[in-house]
A = this chain, B = another copy of it.
Amino acid sequence: MKIALAQINTRIGDFEENTRRICEYIERSKRDGADIIVFPELIVCGYPPLDFLEFEDFINRCNTAVEEIAKSCIGIAAIVGSPNTNPKSEGKNLFNAAFFLADGKTHQVVHKTLLPTYDVFDEYRYFEPNQNLFKCIDYKGVRIALTICEDLWDIEEDKMYTNWPMEELIGQKPDVIINIAASPFSDGHEHSRKRVLHKASQTYKLPLFYVNHVGAQTELIFDGGSMVLNREGNIVCEMDYFKEDFRVFDLDWVKTAKSVTYAAASSFISEDSSIERIHSALILGIRDYFRKLGFKKAILGLSGGIDSALVYTLAIEALGNENVVGVMMPSHYSSDHSISDSEKLAKNLNGITKLIPIKPSFDSLLESIGPNFDHQKPDVTEENIQARIRGLILMALSNKDGYILLNTSNKSEAAVGYGTLYGDMCGGLSVIGDVYKTRAYELARYINRDREVIPENIITKAPSAELRPDQKDSDSLPEYDILDQVLYNYIELRKGPEDLLEMGFDKALVSRVLRLVNLNEYKRHQTPPILRVTPKAFGLGRRMPIVAKYLS
């Protein structure tokens, strides 16, 4: 038996195009002699469809699409993920389902048992878990244990669920496990994924076919990396990362193949290339955001600092240098190098820049507002006015020419609220809002691995917002190497103040940083979607009260 895996990139709710592409791959795998073609979880509507699942019309369109796809399944079977209506009056209205299509119709439907409801996942919001119906699929003499993503995941020590679908299926003596997934990228996640799939395959002594989504859906970046494991749990093929891919496998070959006999050609991911993967993820994140929204051009402010230099570079890699405009907006506090460094960067990339000084607008606004300041001395208000004039200018250019404004805040700043709402926090997409400042430097070094793209001075100078004379980030914040460690432990690992003290961090510093993180929830509530590259990004996967008193 030949099994094809189609790791494709679909758009949420684009039923016509998604169906067309699925059918195209079905035809292709027929030509390649495949018996079954396997598509990812909820591929028909795109993942995650979120509350569109609550619209009956949306579900009707899913069903129509599945019927349409089934018609292509003559002489071949296809497995596609799509929601399925719960016929009972008890429980949620839908199941997260895998449709096994053959002979022009739905042959069998499998419902997902384990519904991830944590971090960015909300599946129990929409779906009823399968509880009692565990039935392998028999097709052309092969018995398939068909599972959906999380259904294979609860194999670790600390189980999140109280049941375990493979234990139910294994009694029916399947020949192969197929798993259809929508597993988004985060730094290090592919190791967990391999560990889990290895353990499942090894435990049940079965070959395993795993097909994952690829492509970005707003903040979530699906990295692909579909794979096939032999009966000993060894990976015999790892498909492309951050790209569409399609492969056909002979099941008999897979059963006996030893370790990795061939790997994805162009983008095989080595074990120690975390920065490389984050880089690829961000590029895909930017590219799909624009492409799927129907936009081509980006704009951003160029301050002369590391963050904007990095986003400018990433945007040019993703969209092309003719499609990215960097705007330099010096104030009376801007250093000379804020311009010269940005110009050098643009020159290295053959990129477009514009220069719009903000002093005249600042003076004019201050003249209008100043009389209401009641002779109070300058403070953060005047700093914010500068940042907001820049935001206003960028949005004006964005509106006039149909650009999307890219936000350049990093995760460290976003965490402690070191940024101006409606100023440098503007934008349609936050590119590096899940990248700590120290990681931003690593990314810059990685980008410069072959030649100087980001000027050395941008990397080595002390970070500054340049909103008052001789300002440095370190005037207001701890050094970033310390700050980032505290943030990582608090945000990613959910350590409490006592844990952090035990780890040797300074008490006053810990208390200040945690307080800043919690107090600035109101700012993060209004930020653009942030491309997620860590296991705990701000946004969809981290839900915090704005009005609260804990550690603040």
A interface, CB within 8 angstroms of B: 11-14, 17, 46, 48-52, 54-58, 60-61, 89-92, 117-118, 122, 124-125, 128, 131, 157-162, 216-218, 288-289, 292-293, 354, 356-358, 360-361, 363-365, 367-369, 372-373, 376, 379-381, 384-385, 388-389, 391-393, 395-397, 399-400, 421-422, 426, 428, 494-499, 522, 525-529, 540, 542-552
Residues on B with beta carbons closer than 8 Å to the beta carbon of A426: 421-422
Please tell me if the beta carbons of A52 and B361 are within 8 angstroms of each other in the complex: no
**Known contacts A360-B367, A379-B400, A529-B525: does B91 contact A11 (CB below 8 Å)?**
no
Residues on B with beta carbons closer than 8 Å to the beta carbon of A161: 90-91
Please tell me if the beta carbons of B90 and A159 are within 8 angstroms of each other in the complex: yes
Expressed in whole angstroms, the minimum distance between the Cβ of A155 and any Cβ of chain B is 12
**Known contacts A12-B550, A360-B367, A545-B12: does B399 contact A395 (CB below 8 Å)?**
no
Residues on B with beta carbons closer than 8 Å to the beta carbon of A552: 13
> Complex formed: what's the CA distance from A55 to B369 in Å?
44
Please tell me if the beta carbons of A545 and B399 are within 8 angstroms of each other in the complex: no
Assembly stoichiometry (copies): 2
> Complex formed: what's the CA distance from A237 to B356 in Å?
67
Residues on B with beta carbons closer than 8 Å to the beta carbon of A293: 547
Residue of B nearest to A393 (CB): B369
**Known contacts A122-B543, A392-B389, A422-B392: does B550 contact A52 (CB below 8 Å)?**
yes
Q: What are 10 sample pairs from A and B whose C-beta atoms fall under 8 A apart? A: A12-B549, A14-B549, A46-B548, A49-B545, A52-B545, A117-B117, A288-B547, A356-B368, A356-B369, A385-B392
Residues on B with beta carbons closer than 8 Å to the beta carbon of A498: 57
Please tell me if the beta carbons of B364 and A381 are within 8 angstroms of each other in the complex: no
Expressed in whole angstroms, the minimum distance between the Cβ of A486 and any Cβ of chain B is 14
Please tell me if the beta carbons of A396 and B385 are within 8 angstroms of each other in the complex: yes
Expressed in whole angstroms, the minimum distance between the Cβ of A222 and any Cβ of chain B is 13
Please tell me if the beta carbons of A368 and B361 are within 8 angstroms of each other in the complex: yes
> Complex formed: what's the CA distance from A551 to B12 in Å?
11
Residue in B51, B91, B162, B361 whose CB lies within 8 Å of A543: B51
> Complex formed: what's the CA distance from A485 to B242 in Å?
43
Q: A13-B545, A117-B117 given; name 8 further pairs at CB < 8 Å.
A: A11-B548, A14-B549, A51-B544, A89-B159, A92-B160, A118-B125, A369-B393, A385-B392
Residue of B nearest to A354 (CB): B372
Please tell me if the beta carbons of A400 and B381 are within 8 angstroms of each other in the complex: yes
Residues on B with beta carbons closer than 8 Å to the beta carbon of A13: 545, 548-552
Residues on B with beta carbons closer than 8 Å to the beta carbon of A358: 368
Question: Which of A89, A161, A388, A527 has the most chain B CB within a 10 Å cutoff?
Answer: A388
Please tell me if the beta carbons of A384 and B395 are within 8 angstroms of each other in the complex: yes
Please tell me if the beta carbons of B396 and A17 are within 8 angstroms of each other in the complex: no
Please tell me if the beta carbons of A496 and B58 are within 8 angstroms of each other in the complex: yes
> Complex formed: what's the CA distance from A379 to B499 in Å?
55
> Complex formed: what's the CA distance from A239 to B373 in Å?
46
Residues on B with beta carbons closer than 8 Å to the beta carbon of A399: 379-381, 384
Residue in B56, B60, B494, B526 whose CB lies within 8 Å of A527: B526
Expressed in whole angstroms, the minimum distance between the Cβ of A377 and any Cβ of chain B is 10
The 5 closest A-B pairs by CB, nearest first: A57-B496, A13-B550, A14-B549, A364-B364, A12-B548
Residue of B nearest to A546 (CB): B218
Residues on B with beta carbons closer than 8 Å to the beta carbon of A160: 91-92
Please tell me if the beta carbons of B543 and A50 are within 8 angstroms of each other in the complex: yes
> Complex formed: what's the CA distance from A551 to B58 in Å?
9
> Complex formed: what's the CA distance from A233 to B91 in Å?
26
Residue of B nearest to A428 (CB): B522
> Complex formed: what's the CA distance from A122 to B361 in Å?
46
Please tell me if the beta carbons of A361 and B372 are within 8 angstroms of each other in the complex: no
Please tell me if the beta carbons of B421 and A395 are within 8 angstroms of each other in the complex: yes
> Complex formed: what's the CA distance from A439 to B246 in Å?
54
Please tell me if the beta carbons of A368 and B372 are within 8 angstroms of each other in the complex: no
Residues on B with beta carbons closer than 8 Å to the beta carbon of A367: 360
Please tell me if the beta carbons of B525 and A528 are within 8 angstroms of each other in the complex: yes
> Complex formed: what's the CA distance from A426 to B17 in Å?
37
Please tell me if the beta carbons of B218 and A547 are within 8 angstroms of each other in the complex: yes
